[in-house]
Amino acid sequence: MAMAVKLMLSLAILVAFSSLSIEADFSFSQENHICNLTSYPSFCRTTLTPHFSGSIRDHGQFFLRQSLSSAKTFHELVSSHLKEPSTIPASTKLALQDCQQLAELNIDLLSNILQTIANIISHFQACDLQTLLSAILTNQQTCLDGINEVTPYPSIITGLLGPISDGIKLYSISLALFNRGWASVTETKPAETTITMNRKLLQESIGNDMTVSEKVVVNPDGTGNFPTINDAVAAAPNNTGTNNGYHVIYVVAGVYNEYVSIPKSKENLIIVGDGINRTVITGNRSVVDGWTTFQSATFAVVGKGFVAVNITFQNTAGAAKHQAVAVRNGADQSTFYKCSFEGYQDTLYTHSLRQFYKNCDIYGTVDFIFGNAAVVFQDCNMYPRLPLENQFNAITAQGRKDPNQNTGISIQNCNIKAASDLSDASSSAKTYLGRPWKEYSRTVYMQSFMDTLIEAEGWVEWYGDFALSTLYYAEYCNWGPGSNTSNRVTWPGYHVINAKDADDFTVAKFIQGHIWLPNTGVPFRPALQ
């Protein structure tokens, strides 16, 4: 017995010593290969301080601190240019304003991430932070997209290209290392009570199923609390957090010619209308008229936990004005229920973070659902409209730029049918399920009806062979005359998937909606069934 104990003790010491040796070797060798886990290994190595060593998490924290410093420096640079607006062309000023706003968001998000990872985090916190890091990279890319709309480049813009590029690389590296160092935290299975949610809303549930802190009424005739939506938003409380009840703004039936922006300080805000085509928020800004795509939105939201119900959002600029956004959504854990989005090119800009759309109608032509959020559309109607001559319809143009971003468009149990102007026309305009706006574009259609308007090949190139091997486009269990996959594109990135793969793009798996959607009172299905 004594000999056995000694043998076991010796083995334990040997195992412990071996583990320490492995960890030491691992740390020592990180400089040689940890940067190879990123999309920018050369930039990663040159950014590290000399003889930097440590674990993946040590490297991740280093690059997050570098990212925050870069975001602050970039914000100061842009702000300095905007202090002398009289010398800046109008289009350049708009692009700089986009970059300034997005840099402010990135500073807040990076500060939040660094504070959170100082402690032990759960799987769901890891999902949250991965979402924030994905959005930070999207924000920087959006800044660059806006600048690319300014032609020709003034010298101010040229001087920003280097810092923008460095920011994109730092944010990409931070995301890659976070995914390796933190995002692999073991998942806790959601409780069975979250599997089916179908709650009543509005008159039957506001104040019952949902916690409401305050209700106000918008009515232009003066009988409400506010005459305009912007007045009501401005008066809403700031920085309340998302656990202190909803601030409800009820907007009576009418047409509201307003450009509405819900800033990051307005959290847990609900705007409720009297129904589609009854409460209408409308505008007509477009890129042709000098706006950036980002600023062309009639309605823009950033505040976390936003909910909209029973509202029509319009951009009436028309097909000839090209990019003209009805709604731009960059609000995490945001929900649109029984709403309509009407435009032509770029109708609905699902910009970033996690979003859910239920029982909504979306009308448009070119790329009319686009952006780089993690977004699920459930029980919605997509209505391609009649485009300009020589144009074609692309329902989606998803903008995933980096393979580590947890973003994409998931379309579940929806209907894809021609709008009345397209179905009545003798036009030869073609309609496709999507095309790759960015290199790692990701879109999945599942359990949806596709009418005859969908071309047999299903999807269309952006240009040449760009992204055809890096994108992820998939179809699962769709039906209708346009759903036949036998003649679909043969790109390396296109897939017909099974139920196991499709499950990754459900409400619970893709946007963790089973955690936050119950608070909204909006019905949803967390899984395929």
Per the CB < 8 A criterion, the answer to whether 344 and 366 are in contact is yes
Nearest to 448 by CA among 423, 476, 486, 488: 476
- Other CB atoms within a 10 A radius of the CB of residue 104 amount to 16
Which H helix or E strand runs over 5? helix 2-33
Nearest to 438 by CA among 114, 24, 134: 134
Quote the CA–CA distance of 161 and 279 in Å, as a whole number.
42
Q: Give the DSSP letter string of 81-134.
A: HHT-GGGS-HHHHHHHHHHHHHHHHHHHHHHHHHHHTTS---HHHHHHHHHHHH
Catalytic position from the list 128, 361, 367, 402: 367
Nearest to 347 by CA among 372, 386, 317: 317
- With b for 16 or more beta-carbon neighbours within 10 A and e for fewer, the 215-248 pattern comes to ebebbeeeebebebbeebbeebeeebeeeebbbb
Per the CB < 8 A criterion, the answer to whether 291 and 256 are in contact is no
Residue with tokens 């090119």: 345
Quote the CA–CA distance of 302 and 62 in Å, as a whole number.
28
DSSP, collapsed to helix, strand or coil, labels residue 275 as coil
Per the CB < 8 A criterion, the answer to whether 290 and 276 are in contact is no
DSSP, collapsed to helix, strand or coil, labels residue 460 as coil
Residues 6+ apart with CB under 8 A from 213: 237, 240, 244, 245, 246, 247, 268
Catalytic position from the list 128, 332, 346, 402: 346
Mark whether 221 is an active-site residue: no
The total number of residues shown for the chain amounts to 529
Per the CB < 8 A criterion, the answer to whether 106 and 72 are in contact is no
Mark whether 346 is an active-site residue: yes
Active-site residue set: 346, 367
